[in-house]
Structure 1
Amino acid sequence: MKKFVLTGLLLSGIVFSGMAQSKAANDPKAKTVLDGVSNKFKSLKSVVANFVLRVEGAKNGVNDSKKGTVYLKGAKYKVTLPGQEIISDNKTSWTYAKDVNEVTINNVDQSSGAMTPAKLFTNFYDKDYLYRLDGETNEKGKVLQNIELTPTDKSKNIFKVIVSVDKKNQSIAKMKVFEKNGNHYTYEITSFTPNANVTDATFTFDAKKYPGVEVVDLR
């Protein structure tokens, strides 16, 4: 479950490859909010964001939370969670599991509709989702604009995503993913540092720093 939550949702699981939806079906107010987030992110050289991932299983079957950090620079990213790291330089991806000291290497599929951390902050919504503004809420001193996204491909396990945008800062504050099986996954951004000093070396896996690591190369 834990490995699926990270690799399956945050990085490559929110995959909707259905037909593009009609623009007329979308809420123009929601698009204005999402475009604001996308334009702001594109203007930044890099981002470091801390987040909390909360898992709620169907009928309270699973309840878990963990803290993580995501580093972003263009299409490159690195995600760290307790016991796991996922790194991509937009050509190669590395998934490291600490409990077995193993790293799995893959080529990045540029044609894939997969959701990556970089895509989350850009205009991922314009091809595979219908979206509408679902009002505003006040949380922790912030005014959040809540946008409901539903995939155009109804065969997928994920049937709804709620993206909450900080109205003042035009940045994503929270994202909640709803699965048909009743599981919910919430990603809450706890800090957001724009234009952080992030080197390109952050986005490659250096095996020398992991003594004895087993390499599984699937390229």
Structure 2
Amino acid sequence: MTNRILLAALGSLLFLAGRADDKSKALVDRLAQKIASCTSYEVTFSASMPEQFDDVQGRIVVSGDRYYVDVNGSELFCDGKSLYTYRADDNEATVEAPDPNDPSLLSNPPRFFRLESRDFDSAYKGPATVGGQKTERVELTPKNRGAGFRSILLDIASGTGLPVSVVYRMEGDDEIEIEILTFKANVPVSKATFSFDKSKYKGIEIIDFR
């Protein structure tokens, strides 16, 4: 009798887990489709990491596979063919071919927001409240063991289906929280947004890894 009850309980848990994973997939797919429907988008965010940094402001602009990232004195310019990374502290820029397989939010936002199943497994973690907004929480676990983090907690607004918070759970107990402050779809952009203009950076050193 005990074994029969135990098996029934395990069966119920497995059924619920399957339902939860179906829900996480639906939430992730909805978010990816919403963002894919934008001709361009702009994200402003705040990043924090306990005992390291707090409330660091940043901005991301994306159009297709082109993107611009500005955060804490560093800028990334990707025109789809070349990726320039500028660091204000060193007045130095590196240039390399963009890595199409990099799913990081801050170094390749177009790939991250595609939320492809080849990059992550997903699991539904239930409803939550973030910054006063009701959200649905999904945990994304990277399929690449060399990703540099254990998982990502992604909070998606229950009403709009847009991202509210992205928390990287690093190896050990460290976490990097990225709070999405604004998400604007179909913003006007020009090619210059994604092109690095060295004339704007007096005395800069450029290191070319291509």
Measured against the shorter chain, the TM-score band is 0.7 to 0.9
Aligned with residue 71 of structure 2, among 81, 92, 101:
81
Indicate the residue corresponding to 2:149 in structure 1: 158
Q: Is the alpha carbon distance of 1:64 and 1:38 closer, same or farther for their aligned partners in structure 2, counting shifts above 3 Å?
A: same
State the 4+ residue runs in structure 1 displaced beyond 6 angstroms.
none
Q: Give the TM-score, by structure 1 length.
A: 0.80
Q: Does 1:94 align with 2:84?
A: yes
Greater Rg, structure 1 or structure 2?
Answer: 2
- Give, in angstroms, the shift of residue 119 of structure 1: 1.8
Distance 1:150 1:143 in 2: 23
Change (3 A) 1:99 1:181: same
Q: Which of residues 178, 188, 213 in structure 1 aligns to 2:204?
A: 213
Residue deviations 1:31-69, cap 9 Å, x none?
10011111111111111111001112xxxx534330000
Say what the alpha-carbon RMSD is for the aligned residues: 1.9
Q: Residue in 1 aligned with 2:37?
A: 43
Pick aligned residue for 1:204 from 195, 201, 205: 195
**Counterpart residue number, 2:112:** 120
Q: Do the aligned partners of residues 99 and 153 (structure 1) sit closer, same or farther apart at CA in structure 2, a change above 3 Å counting?
A: closer
Q: CA deviation at 1:26?
A: 7.8
SS at match of 2:118: helix
> 2:180 is matched with which residue: 173, 189, 194?
189
Unmatched 5+ stretches in structure 1? 1-23
Bigger relative contact order, structure 1 or 2 (CA pairs below 8 A, ≥6 apart): 1
**1:83/1:99 contact within 8 Å kept:** yes
Where in structure 2 are there 5+ consecutive unaligned residues?
1-17
Are 1:85 and 1:97, in contact at CA under 8 Å, matched by a contact in 2? yes
Q: How many residues align?
A: 190
Q: Give the Cα–Cα distance (whole angstroms) in 2 for the partners of residues 197 and 153 of structure 1.
A: 35
CA deviation map 1:114-161 (0-9, x unaligned): 43211222133x113221111111233421110012223446541121
Identity of aligned residues (%): 26
